[in-house]
A and B are shown apart, each in its own frame.
Chain A
Amino acid sequence: MTMMSGADIVLESLKRLGVDTVFGYPGGVVLPLYDRWPAHPEVRHILVRHEQGAGHAADGYARASGKLGVALATSGPGATNLVTAITTAHMDSVPTLFITGNVGRELLGRDGFQEADITGITMPTVKHNYLVMRAEDLAYTFAEAAYIATTGRKGSVHIDIPKDVFLEQADFVWPETIEIRGYRPQTVGDTVLIEEAAAIINAAERPIIFAGHGIILGNAAPELRDFAEKTGTPVLNTLLGLGSLPPEHALAYGMMGMHGSYWANHAASNADVIVALGMRMDDRALGRFADMNPTAKVVHVDIDPAEHGKNIPTHVPIVGDVKVVLAQLLDAVEVNSHAEWVRWIDDLRNDHRLSMSVPPGEEMSQQHVISKIAQFIGPEAVLTTGVGQHQMWAAQFGNISRPHQLITSGGLGTMGFEVPAAMGAAVACPDRAVWTICGDGGFQMTFQEIATMVDEQLPVKMAIMNNGFLGMVRQWQELFYGNNYVSVAMSQPDFLKLAEAYGIHGIRVTDRSQVDAALKEAAAYPGPVILDFRVEAEGNVFPMVPAGASLSETIEEPQRVG
């Protein structure tokens, strides 16, 4: 056994966990940790410009690679700055580890300088958290934390470490196995329930699949395809499930939910059997719960038992890893095709395609720009977004074809996620192009990370959808508050000058005719680029399920609601 300081144990533990990058920001109480960093060059430290940026970058890193994302902050304000990112990652079940320093042990609870009760603050927004009081517990804590973050329903885990624990000497003992009796994720589906589900699926006339983030987090896209093909079941995606089945697949019908397609929402409402896979029956995906589809039989596969029956009644709740359960189901179901039902959806799609198409005309709509970007970068690139209209249009027109392609904050809906998440993705995937579709609002929340990207040579292409508005909020004010625009129009800085200030390339695009050339120019430039797309100011995202309405009440054009 080797004695070492708590700081060395932390860094040694990260190495054992295969962590190659930590996004962090120093401060008083983590100085002992930074002091030892040069002795551990295998762990790259990326100095961000704001702890929220570190957190979203760790999140983007994890979503792009499927590996654990790690962020670090100092006590007090450093730690509280992480909270939005911790919550964002946790709401979307992203495997992340957040490390904070705290004041020395003897000062805990005395309201000393930069003390925040950060474990108290993060408690309800993490899968688990720790306050480590002895250096000898650090290695075990890191091993267990990583195990919890990356298994079962993944999520964020937080470790808080008082300053003097970094300095305390202890033996480095790495646990061989992790065993937690209060945590036993079940991976294999109950065989009786599998049989019940198979019977329901085999007898279905109009089955539908809701495929969620779990398919992507659980690497179950191949199993999803096999299952859908064998049973002839059309597939709808939640926002975060996009990429689980490529759009050109005969059974892929795209996104359901608040801004899902007319045909997807009606297919969901008219199915007689719903097979929900790795999704949590969120209100944005399902609309008004009571009227989503009250007569359908619901088979719900999710690794988190608490999701079963939480929002809508479930007939067959199967707890398990969706990859394993899909393989079990595949063996149990019969070959089927539902030609008539598929044709019904196809007809609906043909009749309603217009509401999911790039609007005609010469206006530089976001739909036009985003589909151009998607076409240009292709599915091998990583695409992150902020939150708002541009996010929904990226979901609709981004041609999301593979897992881990689209990185977006679904559950928490965090504006400002786009730029740092793209930065994290660029670290995780140096061989892929990384583009981010930014809101002009969201971009201004976290663009300070451009400096980090310059330092670390991360060539992220930032396409700002500059509509001069908090677009999604403006859309709601237009549609649901009688055009009463309040605090939604924003002046913007000169984004090209901003690019110049950071020493990166900037391109302004004011007309459709310039789009292709601008994209080529951006891709050819070796470093980060800001693209300032002066898009249509008051376009609206349709189709839409007004808040509180059911999926069958999807509207395709502006109309007074309520």
Chain B
Amino acid sequence: MKHTVAALVEDRPGVLNRVASLFRRRGFNIDSLAVGTTEEAGISRMTIVVEGAEGIAVQVERQLDKLIDVVAVEDLTNLETVSRELALIKVAARPDQRREILDLIQIFRAQVVDVAPNSLIVQITAAGDTLDALLENLRPYGVREMVRTGVIALTRGARTTAVPHESAEARRFHSESGRRPEGELPFVTE
């Protein structure tokens, strides 16, 4: 079964490494991982989909929470959420097939964002299973390349994942320390 866990993390060097290392070491299977900035500077949100037995989400949540750089964790699996994933799908499409494909993707509220003589790029933003369904329908034409962002999710309603408060000094330290100072020698590239 799939579990969706959201982790709010300090946006500092190494944090992705810490999370990835933990998943590898504990044998948790990552289905998808999406990272991005949040409403608060210095805090990133990771949305992690984990494949595993019933109890695994609890271990994932607690092990993540043990990381000092992880500020808050929440298992979203059984909460009311809006969850979305974006995909770009490059489909082989002869000019005579274009119309058919356009009709098809309209049902999924997807768009064509690039057209070439023998291919198109379809963009879709949807819940994971809708995206899978579109993909199945496009396969007969030939899917030449595809990229998915991984699921992101927020709980419905006013409720948010609680982030504890921190003093300004601590905030400065946690958001700045460990970074390379400005103006360092760049790597020579040629």
Contact = CB atoms under 8 A, between A and B. Distances in A.
Interface of A: 105-106, 108, 110, 119-120, 123-124, 127-128, 130-134, 137, 140-141, 144, 148, 175, 177-184, 304-306, 308-310
User: Does more than half of chain A's interface fall in helix, strand or loop, or is it mixed?
Assistant: loop
B21 A133 contact: no
Contacts of B159: none
B58 to A, nearest CB: 7
Contact of A181 (B17, B55, B71, B180): B71
A133 B14 contact: no
Contact of A309 (B55, B68, B72, B173): B55
Contacts of A306: 59, 62-63, 65-66
A127 B66 CA distance: 8
Interface in B1-49: 9-10, 13-14, 17-18, 21-22, 25
A78 to B, nearest CB: 21
Contacts of A304: 66
A180 B62 contact: no
Contacts of A181: 71, 163-166, 170, 174
A323 B136 CA distance: 58
Which one of A105, A148, A182, A310 has the highest number of Cβ atoms from chain B below 10 Å of its Cβ? Answer: A182
Contacts of A141: 177
B169 A175 contact: yes
Contacts of A310: 59
Interface string B100-138: 000000000000000000000000000000000000000
A60 to B, nearest CB: 26
Given A119-B14, A120-B17, A124-B21, A106 B184 contact: yes
Nearest to B13: A131
B178 A132 contact: yes
Interface string B66-77: 111111100000
Given A106-B184, A148-B68, A305-B65, A180 B178 contact: no
Contacts of B180: 105, 108, 133
A412 B35 CA distance: 34
Contact of A137 (B165, B177, B184): B177
B173 A123 contact: no
Contacts of B9: 182
A106 B174 CA distance: 22
Contact of A123 (B10, B21, B170, B174): B21
Contacts of A137: 173, 176-178
A108 B180 CA distance: 10
B179 A133 contact: yes
Contacts of B71: 181-182
Contacts of B13: 131
A137 B176 CA distance: 9
A396 B187 CA distance: 59
A134 B14 contact: no
B189 interface: no
* Interface-central residue, B10, B173, B176, B179, by most chain A CB under 10 Å: B173
A180 B174 contact: yes
The 8 A-B pairs of least Cβ separation, nearest first, read: A306-B62, A181-B164, A137-B177, A181-B166, A182-B71, A179-B170, A128-B68, A106-B185
Given A130-B178, A181-B165, A305-B62, 19 more contacts: A108-B180, A120-B17, A123-B18, A124-B21, A127-B68, A131-B178, A132-B178, A133-B177, A134-B181, A175-B169, A178-B170, A181-B163, A181-B164, A182-B68, A182-B72, A305-B65, A306-B62, A306-B65, A306-B66
A97 to B, nearest CB: 15
B160 interface: no
Given A182-B67, A182-B70, A105 B181 contact: yes
B78 interface: no
B68 A123 contact: no
B169 to A, nearest CB: 7
B65 A124 contact: no
Contacts of A127: 68
A95 to B, nearest CB: 15
A546 B14 CA distance: 41
Contact of A179 (B72, B167, B181): B167
24 contacts: A108-B180, A120-B17, A123-B21, A124-B22, A131-B178, A132-B178, A133-B177, A134-B181, A140-B177, A148-B68, A177-B167, A181-B71, A181-B166, A182-B9, A182-B10, A182-B71, A304-B66, A305-B62, A305-B65, A306-B62, A308-B62, A309-B55, A309-B58, A309-B59
Contacts of A110: 187
Interface string B148-190: 0000000000000001111101100110111111001101000
Nearest to A153: B66
Contacts of B176: 137
B8 to A, nearest CB: 9
Given A123-B18, A306-B59, A310-B59, A132 B68 contact: no
A132 B181 CA distance: 11
A306 B10 CA distance: 20
Contacts of A120: 17
Contacts of A124: 21-22, 25
Contacts of A133: 177-181
B170 A182 contact: no
Nearest to B58: A309
A180 B166 contact: yes
B116 to A, nearest CB: 39
Nearest to A307: B62
A436 B162 CA distance: 50
Nearest to B174: A180
Contacts of B21: 123-124
Nearest to B67: A182
A283 to B, nearest CB: 16
Given A130-B177, A181-B163, A306-B62, A123 B185 contact: no
A73 to B, nearest CB: 20
A263 B139 CA distance: 65
Contacts of B25: 124
A120 B17 CA distance: 8
B182 to A, nearest CB: 11
Nearest to A144: B173
B132 to A, nearest CB: 32
A132 B180 CA distance: 9
Nearest to B18: A123
B17 A123 contact: yes
B34 to A, nearest CB: 20
B59 A132 contact: no
A117 to B, nearest CB: 10
Contacts of A132: 177-178
A105 B184 contact: yes
